[in-house]
Amino acid sequence: MLDKIKRFLDEREKWVSYGKPLRQPERIEELFAICSGCEFFEPKSEGIGRCGECGCNLKKEGTNLNKLAWATTHCPLEEPKWNEEPNLVLERPTETEEERHTRRVAERAEVHAARAIQQVAQQAAQQAAQKIDQQANPPKPKKGGCGCGK
């Protein structure tokens, strides 16, 4: 899970560092058609899914948390089914020291938030496992079955 969060943060950092370039809606629909035909595609609802390889959200429409909309992204497979947009200028704009500091603080906050989410999920899973174990193995009644010990 942490690998997928890190991959998302890396993709987001690259996208932000190049000025948040977006694909045209027609191109997003083309890429969604490619992804929805892939063996790793996990449908959520009509026009929305998730890449089982990288964990990113894939939407037929819109730009909010949609990997397909970010022009700096590519298919995560070893042999990608689609790539970054060819007309994209991939030179980072000059970043001031203050902008760099702000970006790094935000990145650290995102990583800490992701770790906190993972810890909460692990604790919830442990509690659920304990509850299941208790239900599967209830305490045995003492002699006589009434609990009086006789």
pLDDT confidence band for 148 (50 / 70 / 90): low
* Per-residue confidence (pLDDT) for residue 96, from 0 to 100: 74
CA distances from 32 to 1, 61, 96, 140 (A): 23, 9, 36, 56
Average pLDDT over residues 58-73: 90
Domain ranges of the chain: 18-69, 94-135
* pTM above threshold 0.75: no
